[in-house]
Amino acid sequence: MSTSEQIIPHGHVLRYTLKERLTHWAAAVSYIYLLLTGLAFYSPWLFWVAVILGGAPVSRMLHPWAGLIFFGSVWNMYVMWAPQMRHTDIDKQWWKAVRYYSTNQDDKMPPAGRYNAGQKFLFWGFFWNAVALLASGLVLWFPTYIPWNLRVLRYISVLVHPAAALFTIGLFMIHIYMGVFAERGAFGSVIRGDVSLAFAKRYHPGWYKEIVGGASAPRK
């Protein structure tokens, strides 16, 4: 996915490669299906959601498969991004200054790299919860294969699965809020791949320096 294959508008820079964007949307679509069907199983008040999605037995049948797609996507993100998601000293400062971030005073934030500390938290939160959801989900997928003397696995799974899912729902809400509403240009970046230089400079100054200083610096 070299950048040369894609036309980047003037004053913009590529932020997410096609591979990154495809992985993101595989995770997003499968997650939204998992969220809707999962909520239907979670609460009787939302059971109608499963009915709309083709009936609860169908939801029960497809939910685990969607889960495999989701986990595969998250695993691919891990392979692509894990080195970029390491916790740094700047991240420590970022968390200390998080109140400025949440009140839109981004000029008072320490210079984040390609991913800021909040995005790293989102990534690791999703990654570890996806691991927990996969492990508990496999048990819930095949309850009849768990022998009676290992039933404690089922007991743990029925608790871990919704708890981990709720945690991801928290992350998901913040992710949607940031990506769709709070940071203009962020949603476009995961569709077309590019952000404006002003976007890069404002929210990811460390990354901005890297790309502008590098050989592949875009035209000004």
Partner 1 sequence: MSQETLRIQKISGHAGTVPGEDTQREFKVCKLIDTTTCIGCKACEVACMEWNDLPFGETVFGNTYQTMPETRWNYWNLILFNEHEREDGTLMWLMRKNQCMHCAEPGCLAACPADGAIVQYTNGIVDFQQANCIGCGYCITGCPFDIPKMNPKTNRVFKCTLCTDRVSEGLEPACIKSCPTGCLHFGSKDDMLGLAGRRAKQLRDHSNFPNAGVYDPPGVGGTGVIYVLHDATQPELYGGLPKDPHIPWTVKLWKGPLKWLGNVAMVGGLIGLFVHYLRFGPKAHEEEDIHQGGTKS
CA distance 134 to 132: 5
The Cα 195–Cα 207 span in angstroms is: 12
> Torsion-angle region of residue 104: left (phi > 0), alpha (psi -120 to 50) or beta?
left
* Shortest CB 91 distance to partner 1, Å: 19
Does the footprint of partner 1 cover residue 33 (CB under 8 A)? no
Q: Please list every residue from 171 through 190 that binds partner 1, using CB under 8 A.
A: 173-174, 177, 181-185
Does 105 contact partner 1 by CB under 8 A? yes
- Angstrom CA distances, 115 to 15, 44, 103, 123, stand at 11, 39, 19, 10
H/E segment holding residue 13:
strand 12-14
Q: Interface with partner 1 includes 52 (CB under 8 A)?
A: no
Which CB, 123 or 203, lies closer to partner 1? 203
| Interaction residues for partner 1, span 138-177 (CB under 8 A) | 140, 143-144, 148, 151, 154-159, 162-163, 166, 169-170, 173-174, 177
Examine residue 54 and tell whether it contacts partner 1 (CB under 8 A): no
The answer to whether 37 and 45 are in contact (CB under 8 A) is no
Q: Which residues bind partner 1 (CB under 8 A)?
A: 40-45, 47, 50, 56-57, 59-61, 102-107, 140, 143-144, 148, 151, 154-159, 162-163, 166, 169-170, 173-174, 177, 181-185, 196, 198-199, 201-203
